[in-house]
């Protein structure tokens, strides 16, 4: 994906052995982190699955759907942690780092596809689907309102937040560098800020002047800052983190189960006993979900690191598949909601989505998920070979040769 591509650039070869020890300058390239590819692939596969799940089931009336989706909301946080990790791994100790150069190189890989796909989704889903194509010239204010908050499609807020992450990364890098030796305090401060922000999102009613901003808080970097900081710190202490995780798979499994039960149990309690709506948009920001998010991020990292360290060389087909999928994850993310839109658009006489109405569950969800992945990959392969691929997919154009 564009936000975490190219981890092969020149940078110091080692990180600090201990907190507070500044890494020596090195001339060698950092090793390529194959477990990053697996994290990225796994995360986006789960993102597409949860979007398929909520699009093919009773999203607004089913506690089962919403309870399951609640846990999968951790995927967005995992990717923000991954972004903090990879950016810090690349740039932490580069003596030639300049914020302006970083912005000039990185931001264009997100902002241009963001604007292009915002327009495409607005035209197709917002205007064409509602018979309003003739209104486009006089409705550009609607497009502007959607672009400024990332709402042209329900997944584009993610890119809007990524732009903020890129803008703030030089500051994050400086903070991590200057607080070496005190990173536990930095992490504690980030946890405190996270608790305050989530508590305010869930329980504070803002004055009228802040209503719009507060209603779009999910599209700002604030609710995700802890995971970004966690990823950045993990990159600075990568070897220590790897040693600590080794042999703790069973512990992480139990923690995943316990924190997952806490999150889902709290959701059920809010709906059954406190009158909360089944499809509560603030559920992903409940404090009771935060432990699961953190444990899930650590667990996915541990799983991918274990595979890359002990099994990658023995599973060449999987390694090739992971590398392929990782390279295409960002454009697939851009495309897949459009694919879902057209797959589910045909409706029956009673207004149900055709595939959901004619294929029993859970096979309808599985069928739509597999079809969405396959079609999205096919579309991406075409887009990657067109002029302007960089602006459509955030990736450089591929040569015109067989796709397989």
pLDDT at 352: 80
pLDDT in tens, 1-38: 433 433 333 333 333 333 333 444 444 578 899 999 99
DSSP H/E element including 43: helix 34-56
Model-level pTM? 0.87
Where are the chain's structural domains? 2-393
Return mean pLDDT, the chain.
88
- Among residues 172, 206, 204, the alpha carbon closest in space to that of 285 is found at 204
> DSSP letters along 294-347, please?
HHHHHHHHHHHHHHHHHTGGG-HHHHHHHHHHHHHHHHHHHHHHHHHHHHH--B
Three-state secondary structure call for residue 177: helix
Q: Which residue has the higher pLDDT, 331 or 15?
A: 331
pLDDT at 208: 80
Cβ neighbors of 194 (< 8 A, separation 6 or more) are: 223, 225, 226, 290
For residue 182, whether the previous peptide bond is cis, meaning omega lies within 30 degrees of 0, is no
Q: What percent of the chain has pLDDT over 90?
A: 70
- Among residues 217, 306, 219, 235, the alpha carbon closest in space to that of 83 is found at 235
How many other CB atoms are there within 10 angstroms of residue 287's CB atom? Answer: 15
Q: How far is CA 3 from the centre of its chain?
A: 10
pLDDT in tens, 234-262: 999 999 999 999 999 999 999 999 999 99
pLDDT at 28: 55
Place of tokens 């070897």: 239
Q: Which residue has the higher pLDDT, 374 or 346?
A: 374
- Among residues 153, 266, 175, the alpha carbon closest in space to that of 219 is found at 153
CA separation (Å) from 256 to 180, 242, 245, 263, 329? Answer: 30, 19, 14, 10, 25
Residue 214 pLDDT greater than 90, yes or no: no
Range in 168-177, 211-220, 309-318 with the lowest mean pLDDT: 211-220
């Amino acid at each position: 994906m564009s936000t975490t591509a190219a981890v092969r650039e020149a940078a110091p070869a080692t990180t600090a052995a201990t907190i507070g020890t500044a890494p020596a300058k090195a001339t060698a390239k950092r090793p390529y982190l194959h477990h990053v590819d697996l994290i990225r692939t796994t995360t986006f596969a789960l993102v597409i699955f949860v979007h398929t799940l909520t699009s093919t089931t009773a999203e607004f009336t089913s506690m089962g759907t919403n309870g399951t989706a609640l846990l999968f909301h951790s995927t967005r946080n995992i990717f923000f942690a991954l972004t903090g990790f990879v950016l810090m791994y690349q740039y932490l100790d580069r003596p030639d780092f300049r914020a302006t150069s970083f912005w000039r190189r990185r931001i264009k890989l997100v902002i241009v596809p963001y604007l292009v796909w915002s327009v495409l989704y607005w035209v197709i889903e917002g205007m064409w689907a509602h018979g309003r194509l003739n209104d486009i010239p006089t409705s550009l204010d609607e497009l502007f309102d959607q672009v400024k908050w990332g709402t042209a499609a329900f997944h584009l807020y993610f890119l809007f937040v990524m732009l903020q992450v890129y803008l703030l990364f030089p500051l994050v890098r400086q903070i991590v560098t200057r607080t070496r030796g005190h990173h536990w305090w930095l992490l504690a401060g980030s946890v405190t800020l996270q608790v305050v922000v989530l508590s305010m999102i869930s329980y504070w009613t803002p004055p009228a002047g802040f209503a719009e901003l507060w209603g779009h808080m999910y599209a700002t970097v604030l609710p995700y800052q802890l995971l970004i900081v966690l990823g950045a710190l993990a990159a600075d202490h990568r070897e220590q983190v790897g040693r600590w995780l080794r042999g703790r798979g069973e512990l992480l499994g139990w923690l995943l189960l316990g924190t997952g039960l806490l999150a889902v149990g709290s959701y059920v309690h809010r709906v059954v006993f406190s009158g909360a709506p089944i499809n509560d948009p603030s559920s992903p920001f409940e404090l009771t979900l935060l432990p699961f998010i953190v444990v899930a991020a650590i667990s996915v990292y541990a799983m991918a690191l274990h595979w890359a360290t002990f099994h990658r060389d023995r599973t060449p087909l999987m390694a090739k598949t992971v590398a392929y999928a990782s390279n295409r994850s960002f454009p697939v993310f851009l495309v897949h909601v459009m694919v879902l839109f057209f797959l589910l658009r045909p409706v029956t006489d009673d207004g149900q989505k055709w595939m959901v109405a004619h294929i029993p569950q859970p096979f309808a969800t599985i069928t739509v998920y597999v079809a969405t992945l396959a079609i999205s990959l096919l579309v991406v392969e075409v887009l990657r070979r067109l002029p302007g691929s960089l602006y459509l997919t955030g990736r450089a154009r591929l040569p015109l040769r067989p796709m397989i």
